[in-house]
Amino acid sequence: MKSIVLLIGLIAGIVTVKAEDGSELWLRGNQLNQTAGLFSSISGDKHQIAFEEFQQGLIKMNSRELAFSNNVADKGLLIATTKNAQIKKLGLAKDLKGLGREAYLIKTISQRGKKFTVVTATKPEGLLYGAYHLLRLVQTGQAIGNLNIVEKPSYDLRILNHWDNLDGTVERGYAGYSIWKWDELPAVISPRYKEYARANASVGINATVLNNVNASPEILTQEYISKVKAIATQLRPFNIRVFLSINFSTPRVLGNLPDADPSRPEVREWWKKKVAAIYKEIPDFGGFLVKANSEGLPGPMDYGRTHVDGANMLAEALKPFNGLLMWRAFVYEPGDDRAKLAYKEFIDFDGMFADNVIIQVKNGPIDFQPREPFSPLFGAMKHTPLMPELQITQEYLGHSNHLVYLSPMWKEVLDADTYAFGKGSTVAKVTDGSLITTRVSAIAGVANIGEDTNWTGHHFAQANWYAFGRLAWNHQLSSETIAREWLTLTFDSAAPDLMDMMLTSHAAAVDYMMPLGLHHIFAWNHHYGPEPWCDVPGARPDWLPRYYHNASEKGIGFDRTTTGSNAVSQYYSPLKEQFNDPETCPDEFILWFHHLPWDYSMKSGKSLWDELCYRYDRGVQQVREFQKIWDRNESLVDPQRFREVQSKLKIQSKDAMWWKDAIILYFQTYSKMPVPYSIERPVHELEELKLIKLDMIHHN
């Protein structure tokens, strides 16, 4: 145990660092009596879960329960919906008019020389989010003496996509087996289901897809529907609706039909009966997520039908129950430049989908790469609701070994201007209902959650779950604000150097993995380490790194200009012109859009080869700096989490050097140019690196 000086909060004092394992996430509170003097009593709707959650949060922080009182006295707290008699007297309902079920108001009221705080909303779900907001203010030490906050979410549906399989494995999961214990359900209910719900609700997440997009038809058997019902019962009090991923061939597999052709009345009828059976068990069931005709999965195109035919058939079955159909745009049949394929597949269907269909689009046009330009589908489909799909789990960013705070990457995409409706038509605005009319606006994140004690495999990976929820609730928040909140809640300290480490970690990862627009040069089977030389006989070209880097003696990069694949033309002006010219194309994407000679003069004045080498070295040095930052903050962190993060940073530092040496030594065989003498020399041999094989297989 060590004594430290607390750097944040309402008080500063000497505290004892307790041993922690990360299981409480950002909801751990502290034992610092921060709330002493803030509230003298608590009043409101005691039966509301918002009231209970706030009370429990105060107990964690204050080690005592506040007295309940029907009289809101000086420094009191009132938590109730607008139906509450005391709230009605205050006339606050007008401030929430037209803002929806999830909006809330937090306000300091002054009456007869006394002040008290009110948290109110028109519906219980809004009240829950308001209670968590006030708890967050208290826990992060923000002033609460003069509050006037009204908030509603940026997106209606803020959803986690679990890629969890029915056998307990998790595709692209790096934190252990699934938290869903299908073999035990419905008889045994894990206490983690409620903790999961609480964590999500605390950051505004209101929906979850329980199973993998590579779905098994078995999930729709009556046996599994009963299991899903049990989970839904645990999540419902926290305003979390359950969705399921489905396999398009399910009527053929479970219904003994000859096929799953969406044009056949028997198939349509089968889906209607199945959907009705689900809603009978789970009245607030959210709907379906579908991956179809992608990476070998079945879909309507198997029968000569279109995505519209398949999606609208399912939407028809869901509509009487107010269900939503989320249809993924991650479809890339062999042929043209893969970066163009989702756009080509869907653009001609704009305006043809049913109004309860929303197209789920990955943030970039390829596949969750460390950095991609935004998908050109955003804004292009002006008559079809689209929802961004972000990846919280770090499939291409070091799994659970690398500290990579993803909010800056997501903000880069959400704030990117599509120019679809003129200047200012950001990805966020074309998906949140601001510019394109939508029945339901939505955003999805592929979860990084598993049964590991700390939930995410890396203590700092919790920040990405947290950041997704906060951005889904309010996409205008800054990455800095979110990082400060999370650090303060999780470690009791938002020390400036810890903030800097988080905020620069994504750029560092891009530098030591694939700078300047390089992409998809990962190892074939695990997407963890570098393998630009990879060649698998019989594999599709667009599953191999050479397809993307195109390295030769002449240069490197993918030509997507008007004289190449012409992917630039899928973007609106002035972006397509900007991307088309290497002189104006941002350095971050220059090798994404251009194949350039090794001696091409970059904006920095360096040759392309030298710039590439310097970027890789910069990434390595940055990760080593992270180690220094973490070590000098040892006194601020409990011993267990300090050691565990320290160990992960050692792995990340070694991996960064592995990446740097593998890429530079391999591409040097083409460039024939020396590594700049001012940067650190490679410490590996190329042939040695080519022999590395990791047993970390996760299916695509």
Whether residue 142 sits in one domain with residue 219: no
Residues with catalytic function:
295, 367, 395
Query: Does residue 4 sit within a domain?
Result: no
> Tell me: the pLDDT tens digits for 319-343?
999 999 999 999 998 889 999 999 9
Tell me: pLDDT of 17 over 90: no
Residue after which a domain boundary falls, among 133, 151, 169:
151
Query: Does residue 6 sit within a domain?
Result: no
Crossing angle, helix 222-235 and helix 265-281, to 10 degrees? Answer: 40
What tokens were used for 109?
């009221």
Stretch 399-408: mean pLDDT, rounded? 98
Whether residue 127 sits in one domain with residue 209: no
Whether residue 582 sits in one domain with residue 459: no
For residue 211, give the CATH number of its domain: 3.20.20.80
What tokens were used for 538?
């019989």
| Count of structural domains, the chain | 3
Whether residue 251 sits in one domain with residue 291: yes
What tokens were used for 54?
């706030």
Whether residue 308 sits in one domain with residue 272: yes
Whether residue 615 sits in one domain with residue 592: yes
What tokens were used for 394?
């770090």
Whether residue 471 sits in one domain with residue 521: no
Buried b (16+ CB within 10 A) or exposed e, 581-602: ebeebeebbbbbbbbbebebeb
Tell me: pLDDT of 124 over 90: yes
Across the chain, mean pLDDT equals: 93
Percentage of the chain beyond pLDDT 90 is 88
Whether residue 404 sits in one domain with residue 255: yes
Query: Does residue 348 sit within a domain?
Result: yes
What tokens were used for 152?
């509603």
Range of the domain at 322: 157-484
pLDDT tier, 658 (very low <50, low <70, confident <90, very high otherwise)? very high
Question: How would DSSP label each residue in 379-411?
Answer: HH-TTS-EEEEEE-S-TTTTTTTS----HHHHH
Residue after which a domain boundary falls, among 484, 503, 536:
484
Percentage of the chain beyond pLDDT 70 is 94
Whether residue 350 sits in one domain with residue 480: yes
Whether residue 91 sits in one domain with residue 43: yes
> Tell me: the pLDDT tens digits for 21-69?
999 999 998 755 455 467 888 888 888 999 999 988 888 887 667 677 6
Whether residue 134 sits in one domain with residue 116: yes
Query: Does residue 180 sit within a domain?
Result: yes
Query: Does residue 42 sit within a domain?
Result: yes
Query: Does residue 526 sit within a domain?
Result: yes
Query: Does residue 97 sit within a domain?
Result: yes
Confidence (pLDDT) at 38? 76
Residue type, 355: D
> Tell me: the pLDDT tens digits for 233-247?
999 999 999 999 999
Contact between residue 128 and residue 86 where contact means Cβ atoms under 8 Å apart: no
For residue 613, give the CATH number of its domain: 3.90.1330.10
Confidence (pLDDT) at 73? 65
Burial, 244: exposed, middle or buried (Cβ in 10 Å; 0-12, 13-18, 19+)? buried
Whether residue 162 sits in one domain with residue 146: no
> Tell me: the pLDDT tens digits for 203-220?
999 999 999 999 999 999
| Sign of torsion over alpha carbons 113, 119, 123, 124 | negative
Element (H, E) at 130: helix 124-139
Alpha-carbon distance of 364 to 368, in angstroms, equals: 7
Stretch 451-471: mean pLDDT, rounded? 98
Query: Does residue 455 sit within a domain?
Result: yes
Report how far apart, in Å, the C-alpha atoms of 233 and of each of 187, 258, 281, 325, 665 are.
13, 35, 10, 22, 55
Closest CA to 185 of 231, 222, 219, 220: 231
Element (H, E) at 446: strand 442-446
For residue 34, give the CATH number of its domain: 3.30.379.10
